[in-house]
Structure formats: structure tokens, C-alpha cells
Amino acid sequence: KISFYNGEFKDDEELRVMYQDRAFYFGDGVYEVIRYYDGEFFTLEGHLDRLMNSMSEIEIEGMERTELLDIVTELKERNTIENGALYIQVSRGIQNRNHAYPVDVKPVVLACINEARRPHSQSENGVHVITSEDYRWLKCHVKSLNLLANVMEKERAVKAGAHETVMHRDGVVTEGSSTNVFIVRNGILKTHPADNLILNGITRQEVLRIAGELDVPVEEAGFSVEELMDAEEVIITSTTQEVTPVVKVDDTIIGNGQRGMVTKRIQEVFDANIH
Ligand code: PDD
């Protein structure tokens, strides 16, 4: 398997990373996970736009979009994986440990690919989630390497035998540990607005677009944990989870405990767009 680090493509057996990379010391960087199906990138432009935006938000300079596009394109070509999830991170650079930004260094890119399968079973049968307080920082729109709260909250779900943790801030549902959250209530598809409290998921944007096409009424507005529990349908979305129905929140069964009709209709268009 071939990966990319600091300007070079290398076999994983030979790849060495620099311990002074600020990604290690400070989590000082940003990332993307990009899916490709049968050798074709899915929503690549959206991911590159967001990566550029994340860099700009944390003041990483000196990395061009074309350079990133070349890296992801070549990495996919150099590997023989037909269906994969490409991970790419950009760190602020390599320098001895010092909180202040380094001067005269270039951002450092790490990119790798892992085989990925479509989540068919969960897309059909749904998943269980638990809820928890969102105690993350106030720049959640940045896809930062700092994922401590996210991994700790995901682990709480795993320990509880659930699939994901849905977080809420001051009683308002924000997002999952690595997914966006939607509800259908009184026939209206609702999700948290794309502000600084959530990551504006590329899959989230796809779902909103598809809902528009299907004439499903949409509201980008905060909703409470009570509304979540009381929803007709609940959906979580991400690049790897795609459009996944939620059939249980904590101890509460959602709807009749099965994937809802709005979810299914959105999934059908989502699927059609992949092929
Ligand atoms: N996570 N919210 C958070 C906090 C996320 O980490 C992610 C994605 C999403 C969904 O975004 P998108 O639809 O663009 O994948 C929402 C990626 C997949 C990850 O960290 O693995």
C-alpha cells in the first residue's frame, strides 16, 4: 500500500514520519476523509473546498488547492483499491516544539487510503445512538485534527453497545461524534444550522439538496433532545456512514423502530448519485 508524507509517495513499510510534525505535538492541522466508489471520487470538490476553508480558519498558509488535488489523484492511482476512503491531513509544519507558529516552514501533507465498504446493513436496519453533553470548543466548523472529545464520546457509545453519540449543547442537538444529525418531525426534515457549533458535512449538504429535489420541507434550525426523542425519523450522515437511520436514542425507540420513508427516499437518490 502506498501513502504520501511530506512530499513523497512511499510504501507503508518504508514510510517514516517526523516526530516534530506539529500534528503530533499540538494536533495543529486539519483533515478530510474522501470516499471513492469504483475508482471514482465522490463529492471531491466539496471536500477540497472545505479543506482549504479549514486551513484558512486556523491560519495555515502556503498550501494550494491544486497541490492537494494532485496528491489525492495520484494516491488513488498508485493504489489498486477500487472502493476506498482517502484520508488527507495538512499540518502546520515541522519544527522543534514551540507553541507559537513556526516561521519559514511549509505545511506538511499526510495522505493514505484504506479499503471501505458501503454500510448496507446499517443503512437498512438502522443503528442505536446515545446522547451526551457537547463540551467541544467553539470552532467545530473547522475539521481539526483535535478529536479528543469526539473519540472519547464515540468510545462511550461503543461501551454502551451503541453506534454513535449524539451531542447537545444547552439542550440543543448539535451533531454526532463523527456524523451530522437530522430529524423528521411533523414531516419536516430538520438539522442544526451550519454555524460554528457543527461541521458542515458534505453528506449533510447532499441530503439537504436531495430533500429539496424530493420536495421534502427542510428547516436548518436547532432542535431539542426532547424533539429528537419524539421524532418520526432520525438520521445520521457522514462520508463513511452515508445516510444511516437511527432507530433508538438512549432507551427510546424512534418511530416504529425501523427505517422511515423519508430516510428511504433520500437514500434511493443518494445511491443513484453514486452510480
Ligand atoms: N467525519 N461531524 C463531524 C464531527 C465529523 O467528524 C464528520 C465526518 C461529519 C460528517 O461530515 P462529512 O459528511 O463531510 O463526512 C460531521 C469523518 C468521516 C471522520 O472523521 O472520519
pLDDT of 216-249, one tens digit each?
999 999 999 999 999 999 999 999 999 999 999 9
106 lies in the same domain as 226: no
CA angle 56, 110, 141 (to 5 degrees): 35
134 lies in the same domain as 270: yes
42 lies in the same domain as 147: no
Range of the domain at 99: 2-115
Domain end, chosen from 64, 88, 115, is at 115
251 lies in the same domain as 166: yes
User: 188-191 and 233-238: which strand pairing?
Assistant: unpaired
Domain end, chosen from 90, 115, 140, is at 115
CA distance 182 to 266: 12
For ligand 1, atom 20, name the residue with the nearest CA.
Answer: 178
Beta bridge partners of 85: 35, 114
For residue 275, pLDDT beyond 80: no
Question: Where does the pLDDT of residue 71 fall: very low under 50, low under 70, confident under 90, or very high at 90 and above?
Answer: very high
68 lies in the same domain as 162: no
53 lies in the same domain as 74: yes
244 lies in the same domain as 260: yes
Query: Which CATH number fits the domain that encloses residue 100?
Result: 3.30.470.10
Question: Phi/psi of residue 37, each to 5°?
Answer: -120, 130
Ligand 1 centroid distance, CA of 111 (Å): 17
Q: Give residue-wise pLDDT tens across range 10-55.
A: 999 999 999 999 999 999 999 999 999 999 999 999 999 999 999 9
Q: What per-residue confidence (pLDDT) applies to 190?
A: 98
CA distance 27 to 24: 6
Q: What per-residue confidence (pLDDT) applies to 202?
A: 98
H/E element holding 22? helix 22-26
159 lies in the same domain as 270: yes
Instruction: State the closest ligand 1 atom to the C-alpha of 198, by its place in the atom list counted from 1.
Output: 2
102 lies in the same domain as 128: no
Mean pLDDT of the region 200-204: 98
CA distance 269 to 275: 10
Domain end, chosen from 56, 83, 115, is at 115
Ligand 1 centroid distance, CA of 16 (Å): 27
The one catalytic residue in 76, 106, 139, 143 is 143
Please indicate whether residue 144, judged by its CB atom, sits closer than 6 Å to ligand 1.
Answer: no
Please indicate whether residue 235, judged by its CB atom, sits closer than 6 Å to ligand 1.
Answer: no
Q: What per-residue confidence (pLDDT) applies to 40?
A: 97
Ligand 1 centroid distance, CA of 104 (Å): 31
From 169, 178, 196, the mutation candidate for ligand 1 (largest count of ligand atoms within 8 A of CB) is 178
Question: Phi/psi of residue 58, each to 5°?
Answer: -105, 15
Q: What share of the chain is helix, strand, coil (3-state, %, to 5)?
A: 30, 30, 40
From 148, 151, 179, 195, the mutation candidate for ligand 1 (largest count of ligand atoms within 8 A of CB) is 179
261 lies in the same domain as 152: yes
154 counts as catalytic: no
Query: Which CATH number fits the domain that encloses residue 197?
Result: 3.20.10.10
Please indicate whether residue 136, judged by its CB atom, sits closer than 6 Å to ligand 1.
Answer: no
- Long-range pairs for 53-60 at CB < 8 Å and ≥24 separation? 54/30, 54/142, 54/143, 54/144, 55/30, 55/90, 55/107, 57/139, 57/141, 57/142, 58/28, 58/29, 58/30, 58/92, 58/142, 58/144, 59/101, 60/29, 60/30, 60/90, 60/92, 60/107
Please indicate whether residue 95, judged by its CB atom, sits closer than 6 Å to ligand 1.
Answer: no
**Number of structural domains the chain divides into:** 2
Mean pLDDT of the region 61-73: 98
54 lies in the same domain as 100: yes
